Chains A and B, each alone.
Chain A
Amino acid sequence: MAESSNLKELGEVLHSRLIAGDKLASAEVSETFFPILSKAVERRFHNLPDPHLITVAAEEGFLGYLQQPEKFDPQKSSLIAYLYLAASRNVIDKLRASAETFVELDSTKTEHILDKDAYNPELKLIEEEAAQFAPTSPAMQRMFAVVTDPVDRRLVRLMMDGVRDTKEYAEVMGIQDLSFDDQQAKVKQHKDRIKTALRRNLKDWEPR
Chain B
Amino acid sequence: MQPEATDSSLLARLVQRLANDTTYMAHVFALYKNQEGFDDADLANHLNVFPEQIIRLALCKRPEADAPDFADQIRLLGDFTLIDEALLAHVIRQVDSLTGLSQNPMLAEPAPNTALGFKRFEGTLATARDRDEIPKDSGDTKGSNEGNEK
Contact = CB atoms under 8 A, between A and B. Distances in A.
Interface residues of B, number: 41
Contact of B10 (A23, A26, A34, A67): A34
A26 B60 contact: yes
Interface string A122-152: 0000000000000001110111000000000
Interface string A65-109: 011000000000000000000000000000000000000000000
Interface stretch (A3-11, A113-121, A159-167, A173-181): A159-167
Interface in A26-41: 26-27, 30-31, 34-35, 38-39, 41
B80 A27 contact: yes
Contact of B1 (A25, A51, A199): A51
B144 interface: no
B59 A142 contact: no
B143 to A, nearest CB: 22
Interface in B56-100: 56-57, 59-63, 73, 76-84
B79 A26 contact: no
Chain B contact surface mostly: helix
A63 B63 contact: no
A54 interface: yes
Nearest to A41: B1
Contacts of B18: 63, 66
Interface string B4-19: 0111101101100110
Contact of A138 (B48, B55, B73): B55
A58 B1 contact: yes
B103 interface: no
Given A35-B11, A141-B52, A162-B76, 20 more contacts: A23-B60, A24-B77, A27-B57, A30-B14, A31-B11, A39-B1, A42-B1, A62-B14, A63-B17, A138-B8, A142-B50, A142-B53, A143-B82, A159-B79, A160-B80, A160-B82, A162-B80, A195-B78, A199-B48, A202-B49
15 contacts: A23-B60, A24-B80, A31-B59, A34-B14, A35-B10, A67-B21, A137-B56, A139-B53, A139-B81, A159-B82, A160-B82, A194-B82, A202-B49, A202-B50, A207-B51
Interface of B: 1-3, 5-8, 10-11, 13-14, 17-18, 21, 24, 41, 48-53, 55-57, 59-63, 73, 76-84, 137
